Chain A
Amino acid sequence: MIRKNFKKTKKKTNSNLMLFQKPAIKFKRECPLSGKNAPIINYKNIKLLQKYISETGKMLPSRITSVSYSKQKELSSEIKKARILALLPFTND
């Protein structure tokens, strides 16, 4: 019984301090390239690679696109292959 009372009081204090607490809903995005139905990363698949390139031709960082560390490594090597074969631009002014 003592425990139950303790819980109730704790909840009330939480509601008072809502501003300083973590939000109830987590804004967590999963990696779009890993998982079951994920597309295969290949230098021939230009449409997919163009999603991860800025307008000026630079690669986008993974903190913006939320690609996992291992898949970001694959992406960067495939983009570099496509650039050598002139399928993607090095720069786009």
Chain B
Amino acid sequence: MNIYEHTCILSQNLNPKDLKDIRTKIETIIEKNQGKIEKVEDWGLRNLAYPIKKFKKGYYSNIFFSGSGTAVFELEKFERIDENVLRFLTFKVKEVPKENSELCLKEENK
């Protein structure tokens, strides 16, 4: 069992309803493959440093989960096909941080 950190950028054109659908789908894929979600962070709409697929903004979301490599394989397989996912990155982490990161939205702004 390893701990993974996964961040992905979703396109700007999505409705708030479609945004939730994709985020819940990502979580169900992890849980189907015997993974366990440890922490979820929402970074909100951010400016991109350079345009990706002609988009200048994107919704960021960050997930910590523990599981095996097959969960990562299935997740990335789904994200490569989906057009609304602009970018993603997964890598191993030793520990899950207790505090939220600086990029995370505060509850007042939500």
Contact = CB atoms under 8 A, between A and B. Distances in A.
Interface of A: 42, 44-47, 81, 83-90
Contacts of B50: 86, 89-90
Nearest to B91: A81
A36 B85 CA distance: 40
Interface residues of B, number: 14
Interface of B: 7, 9, 48-50, 52, 58, 60, 87, 89, 91, 101-103
A84 B58 contact: no
Contacts of A86: 9, 48-50, 52, 58, 87
A46 B103 CA distance: 9
B101 A44 contact: yes
Q: Which 6 A-B pairs have the closest CB atoms?
A: A86-B48, A89-B49, A44-B101, A86-B49, A44-B103, A89-B50
Nearest to A86: B48
Nearest to B87: A85
B64 to A, nearest CB: 12
A81 B9 contact: no
Contacts of B103: 44, 46
A88 B49 contact: yes
A42 B7 CA distance: 14
